Amino acid sequence: MDWLDSIKWDSDGLVPVIAQEAGTGDVLMFAWMNREALALTAERGQAVYFSRSRQRLWHKGEESGHFQQVHEMRLDCDADVVLLKVTQLGHEPGIACHTGRHSCFYSRLEGDAAGRRWTPVEPVLQDPASIYKK
């Protein structure tokens, strides 16, 4: 069976994908791939996602230059989630988030039962205006 046929694609033909930084173990982002995106990712060794908002392939870094080099691809026990081990290129430390931060998971839940809130706790490494020049 083709390795792409092993995937349990959802009703939209997509699979969720987690990108984890190979060196640090940091979870950088979460996105989606369709069959073509997953095939291209394996072929090129760079992450190609499917943008649900734009309904088209999205070669991560195509606008920012912040490409993701893929070292390893993993599939979970239910064959419905993919994990990429990547190096986030284009800046040191890597910038995976469109806000100019290292990781998209920059908000932490703070507080206790009396009151909780999501609080940004990671710095902006580069002004998004200078990343997305168009």
Q: Does 51 bind a copy of itself (CB under 8 A)?
A: no
Q: What angle do CA 33, 104, 30 make, to 5 degrees?
A: 20
Instruction: Single out the residue of 36, 76, 127, 132 in contact with a copy of itself (rule: CB under 8 A).
Output: 76
* DSSP code at position 91: S
Q: Does 42 bind a copy of itself (CB under 8 A)?
A: yes
Give the ranges where the chain is alpha helix by DSSP (H). 35-44, 128-131
Residues 79-108 that bind a copy of itself (CB under 8 A): 79, 81, 83, 97-99, 101, 104-108
Torsion (CA) 90, 39, 49, 104 in degrees, nearest 10:
-60
Q: Shortest CA distance to 32 belongs to which of 22, 43, 46, 47?
A: 47
**Least CB distance from residue 98 to a copy of itself, whole Å?**
7
Annotated binding site for Zn(2+): 77, 97, 104
Give me the residues that bind a copy of itself (CB under 8 A), please: 3, 6, 16, 18, 20, 24-27, 29-30, 42-43, 72-79, 81, 83, 97-99, 101, 104-109, 111, 113, 116-118
